[in-house]
Structure 1
Amino acid sequence: MTALPDWMQPPREEGWLAEDLDNLPDAPRHTELIDGALVFMMSPQRSWHGRVLDALTYTIRQQAPEGFEVEREMTVSLDERNRPEPDLLVSTAPYVPERTWFAPKDVRLVLEVVSPESAHRDRTVKLRKYAQAGIPHYWIVEDEDGSPVVHVYELDEPTGAYAPAGIFRHALQREVPFEIGLDLDKLTPRTGG
């Protein structure tokens, strides 16, 4: 058995802190911090995931009004022991080229495209954590027989939890966090059959 790389050794007994992620130069891309533990993508990403995420990023960025920034695969520092990396986020923070994370107060929407290895985290863990951090909108994109289906949640401020705001197939039209219209059928090419 080989020794663990130095970057995998927690710097303290209670685990990692959000600020530690910026000091792990040899860590794999897409390393997240959940409850003080490092989580990183080890399995190869499916082509479907990449195509849907590319199309969503482009389309939402094209529709974003001034004052909104659309970022892909950037972490959100929810608290000192949680810094997840959503697939896409919409923020009101100005663009800063050196930025490595966003504060929850600046994030208006987080979006996760579910893959088999992230399904539990996306559907339960992150759903709860993003709500507790006060992020107003959370979208989960699922693969339904090759077609993207978007589960939309809005933060219910009195309870501090997300409430379902709709499940969208074929088309999505939302007025928040800004006017967004998506033709979901065009996000992935249909294969012959």
Structure 2
Amino acid sequence: MNCPDDFMVNIEQAIALGRRTELRPDVVLLREESGDCSPVLPRDVLLAVEVVSASSRAADRGLKLEEYAAAGIPSYWIVDPLAERVTFSQFVLTAPGVYELLIETDGLVTVHQPWETTLDLPAWTRRRDRIRSKTRPGG
């Protein structure tokens, strides 16, 4: 990701949704000034990314989608490496509490929010498949 200097990418960064509620996306893009805080406030998060696992598929597309939208996080991405081909879904906040699905693809895609970057999903699929073919049975 070509991250501008005034932002930072972090993994599993807690986001405070309420006094007793936090979510921990797999990847989060946040304002640099909040980089030393945990949990961070939703207003400091530009992008939350969830990578689908067998146990998270329903929550990533349901509850988490709703909670991130309600918190006002401008962009939400879902990467699904479990699909036949690795897929990418981009949601953008279009009104308070409402995400719109902007892109859903398994191809080469250029996104323009939060900044322009190109994702080569066919290459991700080839790499995943190559890794799977080399993985030892049972491990």
The TM-score bracket by the shorter chain reads: 0.7 to 0.9
Aligned length in residues: 128
Does the aligned pair in 2 maintain the 1:149–1:167 contact within 8 Å?
Answer: yes
Match among 78, 81, 106 for residue 44 of structure 2:
106
User: What does residue 186 of structure 1 align with?
Assistant: 123
Match among 55, 58, 76 for residue 120 of structure 1:
58
Deviation by residue 1:78-108 (Cα, 9 ceiling, x = unmatched) = 11132010000111133645x3321100100
Structure of greater Rg = 1
- How far 1:169 moved relative to its partner? 1.3
Query: TM-score, normalised to structure 1's length?
Result: 0.61
Kindly report which structure 2 residues correspond to 1:120-159, keeping only aligned pairs within 5 A, or say none: 120-142=58-80, 143-145=82-84, 147-157=85-95, 159=96
Does 2:31 match 1:92? yes
Counterpart CA distance in 2 for 1:163 and 1:71 is: 24
- How far 1:65 moved relative to its partner? 1.4
User: What does residue 9 of structure 2 align with?
Assistant: 70
Q: Which has more strand, going by share of residues?
A: 2
Match among 97, 101, 110 for residue 164 of structure 1:
101
Identity of paired residues, percent?
A: 31
Query: TM-score, normalised to structure 2's length?
Result: 0.83
Deviation by residue 1:108-143 (Cα, 9 ceiling, x = unmatched) = 010001111111211111100000000000111122
User: What does residue 41 of structure 1 align with?
Assistant: none
Does the aligned pair in 2 maintain the 1:171–1:183 contact within 8 Å?
Answer: yes
Match among 14, 20, 25 for residue 81 of structure 1:
20
Does the aligned pair in 2 maintain the 1:69–1:95 contact within 8 Å?
Answer: no
